[in-house]
Amino acid sequence: MPDAIEPAPERRVVVNGIGLAYFEWGTEHRGSGPTILLVHATGFHARVWDQIVRRLPGYHIVALDQRGHGHSDKRTIHNWYEFVADLVAFVDVLDLRELIGVGHSMGAHALIGAAAERPARFRRLVAIDPVIAPEAVYHSSVAATPNGGAARRKNEFASPDEMIERLSGKGSFGRFDPATLRDYCTYGLVPNEAADGYVLACPPEVEASVYATNWSNATIYEAVRALEVPVLILRAKEPPGDGGPMQSGSSPTWPGLVHEFRRGREIYYPDRTHFIPMEIPEEVAALIRAEAAES
C-alpha cells in the first residue's frame, strides 16, 4: 500500500451561480508538468479518488465535487450539459492548463464536453465508462429510465461505519477495493442538520434526477467529434441481452463510441463492473501515469 496522502483542505469556488467544493494535492508541482483533473460519477464525490491520488505522487491533482454532490451546493439536474458548463467554468476560474482529464461515468461524459469547449487546456483524457449512448438516442423520444432505487436509497446513517457495514459484500459494492469503500462512505456523508447522525452528501432526489436525465445532453456527439486530444476509454462488461444498460453494474457506454473520436482507443474489461476505479485503483493509477508521461 502506498504511503498515506497529506490531508487535502477543502476549497470552494462559485461558477454558474453554484458553489463547488474541490480538493487539491501537489500544488508545488503546478506548472512543472501536467495537472490531473479527477471528476467523479453520479452519487459519488471528489474523495472517492483518494486511493488513486495516493498512487500518483509528484503531480498537481485537483478533484471536484460536482453540483449536487459531496460538499457542493445541492441542485437537482435537468440536463447533463449543466455538468459540462460547470467544468468549463471551473477550469477557467482556476486557470488549469496541461490537463490530463480523468472522469468516471457521468464525470467522464462531462469532461468530454468540457475538453471540446476548452481544447487549449487539455492534453489527454481518460474516460472511464462515460455513459454515452448511440447518437440516435439523443434525438429520439426514448427517455432515460428513472432510477427509482436511487430515489428510495437509505439516506440516514449513525456513522460512516454503519454505512460501510451495510454496503460491504453487497452487489457492486462487494467488489470495491476496501480502502476505496471506506473513502466512499467516510466522505459520502454529511452531518444531518435535522437530527443526530449523518445523511448522504448526494441526496437521493439529486441522484435520481441525474439518472432520469441520462440522455438529455444532445450536444455530446458534437463534442466527441470535435476533440483532437487523445482519448482513452476504459469500458466495463457489456450488459446482458435481457436487461438495461446498468443491470448488474454493466457498462452504459455504447461499444462503438471509441470509433467516433479522432484519436480514440479503448481498453475493454469484460470481467469488471461499471465501477472500474473503485475495483482496481492501482491499475487505473498506472494508466493515468502512462497517459501523463506521453507528450
Given the DSSP bridges, would you call strands 198-200 and 156-157 parallel, antiparallel or unpaired?
antiparallel
| pLDDT at position 1 over 50 | no
Specify the pLDDT at position 243. 47
One-letter amino acid at 277 equals P
Specify the pLDDT at position 8. 83
Domain spans of the chain? 10-148+212-293
**pLDDT single digits (tens) 114-165:** 999 999 999 999 999 999 999 999 988 665 555 556 777 899 999 999 999 9
Q: Long-range pairs for 277-281 at CB < 8 Å and ≥24 separation?
A: 277/48, 277/49, 277/52, 277/104, 277/128, 277/180, 278/48, 278/175, 278/176, 278/177, 278/180, 278/181, 278/184, 279/175, 279/176, 279/177, 280/177, 281/51, 281/52, 281/55, 281/177, 281/179, 281/180
Q: Any idea which residue has 460501510 for its cell?
A: 164
Alpha carbon distance 230, 68 (integer Å): 30
Are 98 and 33 in contact by the 8 Å Cβ rule? The answer is yes
For residues 63, 33, 279, 283, the Cα torsion angle rounded to the nearest 10 degrees is 180
Are 109 and 131 in contact by the 8 Å Cβ rule? The answer is yes
pTM of the shown model: 0.95
Which class would CATH give 10-148+212-293? alpha beta
Which of 67-71, 230-234, 243-247 is predicted with the least confidence, judged by mean pLDDT? 243-247
Alpha carbon distance 57, 96 (integer Å): 19
Per-residue pLDDT, averaged over 209-218, amounts to 94
